[in-house]
Structure 1
Amino acid sequence: MAISVVPLLSGCVAALLPIAAAGMMGKTEIDRVKAKREFVASGAVEVFLPTNVDTVLAAETSDSRTDFTGQGGAIDEPDTALSDESRQYLSRFFRPLDVLQPRPYDDFARYALGQAVKLEAGEGVKSAVLVPRVDIFKPKTVRCEGKPLAVLIDMDDKSNSGWSRSETLYRQNGLVEALGELRAAKISVIWLSDEPSVLSDRISAILKDAELSASGADDFLFLDRGGEDRKQERRWDAANNYCIVAMAGDSRSDFDELYDYLRDPDGAITLEHMFGNGWFIAPPPLVTSAGDDAVELEEEG
């Protein structure tokens, strides 16, 4: 599977570095092991990255693959050592990162890192997940005390429900760096999707190929558990074990399903303050089309 990058919104990863440095903490009173154990028991799946970094895309290094001939984007050079074969394959699809390209997840990451700084300073942090049966006129969020920090990213593309089965995906520009800053601050990453749980191995592999997973990180996939399971229930289950300080999605219903039932989704005035303060509208992390703002690469060969 080819993974590339889509540049969209503005930002700069350099602006995240001071916050991340200050946020590199892990409160001893927070039981991360218990949180992980109970979260996995609820149906979440840990995202694993094989320790043998030389196997990156090894299954797809066949010379039978054609060179890249369409639109793509840019990617930074991976920090891990790659074999010549893997590097040659990657060069067909990836190009050096243009640091001036827009980065749609910077504000999301910057806010979450700010919450980590507040927690380290002994200040309270607030969950971005609304309580069940929320009173829309007096909205409250799930309690955060004693829970490790996490962010939740909705992977589903409203314009393409078959994204996980696509042969080529485009990664949002700057997302790898943003996730690295979050993990350095001991913030877990939870990937939420309505894809069935039987696809967890495939989606984990997609995240690995896109360099969106990291060895030793407390990252999770939370996919459809079957039956009458709803994405909203999984948000609550995640919030029961982690303090979800920020959520990213491409529609308002990615933050709470109540938006699916409002006659006017823009009419929930009492929730507008959540946008930019825990809720962040952003394109899906992986998309099947580069779109108009993508960097067009010259055809090779």
Structure 2
Amino acid sequence: MIRAVAALMLSPLAGGCVAAAAIPAVAGSMIVKSQMDKKRERRVEVQAAAPAQSVDTPEGRVTVIKGMTALPPPTGTPPAAAAAAAAGGAVPETMQYLYGSGESAGLSMQAYRALADYLTKNVVYRRRETLRQVVLSDGSSLNAPLFEPCGAKPLAVVLDIDETAVLNLGYEADAARRGGGYDDARWGRWEASGADKVVAVPGAKAALDAARKAGITVIFNSNRSNANATATEAALDHAGLGPAKHGETLWLKGDDGGGSGKDDRRWAIASGYCVVAMVGDQLGDFSDLFNDPRMTPAARRAFAATSPVAELWGNGWFLLPNPVYGTGLKGGFDDVFPTDRRWSDPAEGVK
């Protein structure tokens, strides 16, 4: 591995000059298998050598997770209120917002316009030897992120697919009518048969067209199954976001031999490309460290808002709204509403 450099509080795109030979683009998942095996071995060593630590943040004392041994599977289970509304025939409020509101469309347009500006007005005009990956290097922690220099690698932007690049209108309409929780088998059938029932997230097509025009490769990294790779390619084409080719510009769950974690795939992509931007709707679309099961919702929020990686939002990392499902939908009353910020209506008297 090229020696990584500490991010401090600066953009990973800024840095001193480094000498590097051109590295060919990733041509398929098998090409990088040995590199990924070495990454896994290195990560095990880092986890064993670097235990969790505690640090003070503006939101309190939180635990810095240095390594992960397991990533919780995404449940996709809607909140109880949303499930109850769906069972009664109403559209859950979270779905009303994400799939039907102008506010959500505006946020998505805003994020993708910011991405396009960042790529075309910032990245492509930098000297290549000053560029650094926005993928956290193996051995990073959220409080001490590391980034590798890009050298002469070709530029790339990496995106999640579901509710980041495409909206799964067909699947979610069925879920809203049906109610209940997430069904993995049903989702698999949707992946295989719903390619013509998706639409592009507002703003995505224009931003990706601008990236390609600027010579930046568009790569998708999704937890859709690689068993449905052809159908996923078709869905991206139908939404106007293709072309995407599995093993080259489309990476899917199972390609790295692992589960829902995306870091191995990110590192494989970064071995052949200079990843200058990433786009997602979950924090795990940027680093698996956010999904460590030992991290409380409050600590996760603090890391996203106050740690060094917070400098990356809008500066290499671009996040879209998704209140419908995912790892962000958790936390008890005390996690969401700190006790020192509670209010009681004076008109109701002292209770």
Say whether the fold is shared (TM-score over 0.5). Answer: yes
Residue 136 of structure 2 aligns with which residue? 130
Residue 45 of structure 2 aligns with which residue? none
Q: Which deviations, in whole Å up to 9, do the C-alpha atoms of 1:189-209 show, x marking residues without a partner? A: 111111111211101111111
Residue 228 of structure 1 aligns with which residue? 258
1:146-185 mapped onto 2 (5 Å cutoff): 146-157=152-163, 162=187, 164=191, 165-166=193-194, 168-185=197-214
Q: 1:37 to 1:106 in 2, by over 3 A?
A: same
Q: TM (normalized to structure 1)?
A: 0.57
Residue 52 of structure 2 aligns with which residue? none
Q: Which deviations, in whole Å up to 9, do the C-alpha atoms of 1:67-114 show, x marking residues without a partner? A: xxxxxxxxxxxxxxxxxxxxxxxxxxxxxxxx9x94541112221222
- Equivalents in 2 of 1:271, 1:104: separation in Å? 18
- Equivalents in 1 of 2:213, 2:287: separation in Å? 28
Q: Aligned-pair distance for 1:181?
A: 1.0
Q: Which deviations, in whole Å up to 9, do the C-alpha atoms of 1:240-281 show, x marking residues without a partner? A: 111110001112221001111232212222211111111111
Does 1:37 find its partner at 2:27?
yes
- Equivalents in 1 of 2:210, 2:309: separation in Å? 28
Q: 1:283 to 1:206 in 2, by over 3 A?
A: farther
Q: Do the aligned partners of 2:134 and 2:276 also contact (CA within 8 Å) in 1?
A: yes
Match of 2:301 among 266, 274, 284: 266
- Equivalents in 2 of 1:215, 1:223: separation in Å? 12
Match of 2:145 among 134, 139, 142: 139
Residue 135 of structure 2 aligns to which amino acid in structure 1? V
Question: What's the secondary structure of 1:277's corresponding residue?
Answer: coil
Residue 224 of structure 2 aligns with which residue? 195
Q: 1:169 to 1:254 in 2, by over 3 A?
A: same
Residue 251 of structure 1 aligns with which residue? 282
Q: 1:190 to 1:251 in 2, by over 3 A?
A: same
Structure 1 unaligned runs (5+)? 1-28, 44-98, 288-301
Q: Give the total of aligned pairs.
A: 200
My pick for the range that moved more, 170-179 or 34-43, is: 34-43
- Equivalents in 1 of 2:229, 2:109: separation in Å? 30
- Equivalents in 2 of 1:38, 1:259: separation in Å? 27
Q: Aligned-pair distance for 1:117?
A: 1.5
Which structure's residues are more often helix, by fraction?
A: 2
Q: 1:109 to 1:225 in 2, by over 3 A?
A: same
Does 1:213 find its partner at 2:221?
no
Q: Do the aligned partners of 1:252 and 1:259 also contact (CA within 8 Å) in 2?
A: yes
Q: Do the aligned partners of 1:250 and 1:282 also contact (CA within 8 Å) in 2?
A: yes
Residue 241 of structure 1 aligns with which residue? 272
Q: Do the aligned partners of 1:213 and 1:219 also contact (CA within 8 Å) in 2?
A: no
Question: What's the secondary structure of 2:279's corresponding residue?
Answer: strand
Q: Aligned-pair distance for 1:283?
A: 4.6
Q: TM (normalized to structure 2)?
A: 0.50
Q: Do the aligned partners of 1:103 and 1:175 also contact (CA within 8 Å) in 2?
A: no
Q: Do the aligned partners of 2:279 and 2:318 also contact (CA within 8 Å) in 1?
A: yes
Residue 136 of structure 1 aligns to which amino acid in structure 2? L
Residue 313 of structure 2 aligns with which residue? 275
- Equivalents in 1 of 2:144, 2:111: separation in Å? 30
Q: 1:243 to 1:138 in 2, by over 3 A?
A: same
Q: Do the aligned partners of 1:104 and 1:283 also contact (CA within 8 Å) in 2?
A: no
Structure 2 unaligned runs (5+)? 1-20, 34-105, 173-181, 326-351
Structure whose alpha-carbon radius of gyration is higher: 2
Q: Aligned-pair distance for 1:126?
A: 2.2
Q: 1:223 to 1:116 in 2, by over 3 A?
A: same
Residue 144 of structure 2 aligns to which amino acid in structure 1? K
My pick for the range that moved more, 161-170 or 228-237, is: 161-170
Question: What's the secondary structure of 1:35's corresponding residue?
Answer: coil
